[in-house]
Structure 1
């Protein structure tokens, strides 16, 4: 380390040269790290993407600090001028400053990270990229009750974090609590529908119920929070004089939410609305 320091001080007093060397070193570290991650197939793609984004942001911050240190003398000479134009910069770069503030807020609050599923205002999706100014998500929808990717990438400024409430759908980790809503006519046998729905949920969730229970218990011990029961439960809500809503709450693996929901709904519809034979007026009179 001492030899490196002496070599650095021995360089010509040329700030441009030092800046170029700093940037070249940062780029080299970035390239080598990306190649090293690419040669680690045993690490999940999501984890490698998270490390890559964190490294990129760390190198960017290191580069900014290094450039400020290199040009500190020049910056000191224009300190008075900087104070004079500070207000103009604040006005001109108001949105950039807000984005940086939003990024700082996200980092300090640990609001979300790569791979998390979030909802911010009317935006909803899985986070795939985070920079100091923006966040990019793969949209999930098209409505709130849908859980499929729409194929659209949405990039929003981090300044939105300062003025909107953020919802993180998968804060419990690999297992999440999911609610499935099934509307049923009051003219139908509502209690029978409830019985069929809860049985369908128990059948589908049985293979991972114990693992989900252990996961939730671990969360309680680690974060000192109360976690909901993982056993399937149904609550009834009368919407109006025609419809009653069955709200089914289940614990499911985060990556299988859509699959589990569809499996339960198919089983419910097959049992509650079985295929009916054609009526007499639909049969062939011949």
Structure 2
């Protein structure tokens, strides 16, 4: 019995500060209401002008409301500070627990605001490369293209990319131009190979492959440059030379094509160029076994 009475006394002692704050708040409210009533009566009695009286009534009311709110802040300041700390702690815990989801939402806003890509575009993010087939607020699904960065064949695998990657990683859109793109591929040779002939043959074959739609590609690139304020690129096929190391010559073939025909035209150029030529050094040819055979130079 004594223990129950002691516990009741402790509970009353704990609730006393809250009761004191409530009583103080009620007293502040009564004082504010009384002050408003007194001031309103004085204004109505002493001010004859209707417009001036209404002005003073409104200003008095707003002033008393401001004083009441400041009084509440002073009375409940400690409790409000404790409540604010609790809310901040909960908010921090929530942000930490849902960090990845928040980044996914932000990434969705980033890619949507920047219009980085759309359904059907071929993109590359970090090591992920493929055609976009679906996107939502949390993730983007692509059909993988590969193997490697130079291939244009679908592997049959789907990759789901979290949108959080679009916040911190650059996005490469390989189909930025909708109708025609400039496709580039590299053909390596040794220094002693007949790369001069290879350059001529590749350029001739590329021109023949692009001839049916070359003028249409020129007009499209011209319109694209005017619309986006860009310098119009040279659309005609070209074969450039690169020397990555002293022993090698790389021929860089560039030609215009539609986005979906890159792989097919590239393979056609290679098949036609290498089907009729071997480009080996002078005095060598390919034997039936596929080995290099040196002719007599007598």
TM-score higher than 0.5 here?
A: yes
Alignment match, 2:164: 159
Alignment match, 2:212: 207
Q: Normalization by structure 1: what TM-score?
A: 0.66
Asked if 1:171 is matched to 2:183, the reply is: no
Alignment match, 2:151: 146
Asked if 1:185 is matched to 2:210, the reply is: no
Q: Normalization by structure 2: what TM-score?
A: 0.64
Task: Give the total of aligned pairs.
Answer: 201
Q: Distance in 2 between matches of 1:180 and 1:207?
A: 21
CA positional deviation for 1:161 = 0.8
CA positional deviation for 1:83 = 6.1
| Contact map agreement 1:181 1:247 (CA 8 A) in 2 | yes
Q: Distance in 1 between matches of 2:287 and 2:189?
A: 22
| Contact map agreement 1:102 1:159 (CA 8 A) in 2 | yes
Asked if 1:229 is matched to 2:271, the reply is: no
Q: Distance in 2 between matches of 1:151 and 1:246?
A: 31
Aligned equivalent of 1:97, options 95, 102, 109: 102
| Contact map agreement 1:176 1:253 (CA 8 A) in 2 | yes
Unaligned 5+ runs, structure 2: 1-82, 280-284, 290-298
Alignment match, 2:49: none
Alignment match, 2:6: none
Asked if 1:136 is matched to 2:141, the reply is: yes
Report SS of the residue matched to 2:154: strand
CA positional deviation for 1:241 = 3.2
Report SS of the residue matched to 2:140: strand
Report SS of the residue matched to 1:272: coil
Asked if 1:241 is matched to 2:231, the reply is: no
Unaligned 5+ runs, structure 1: 1-78, 280-286
Alignment match, 1:251: 256
| Contact map agreement 1:196 1:271 (CA 8 A) in 2 | no
Alignment match, 1:14: none
Change (3 A) 1:88 1:202: same
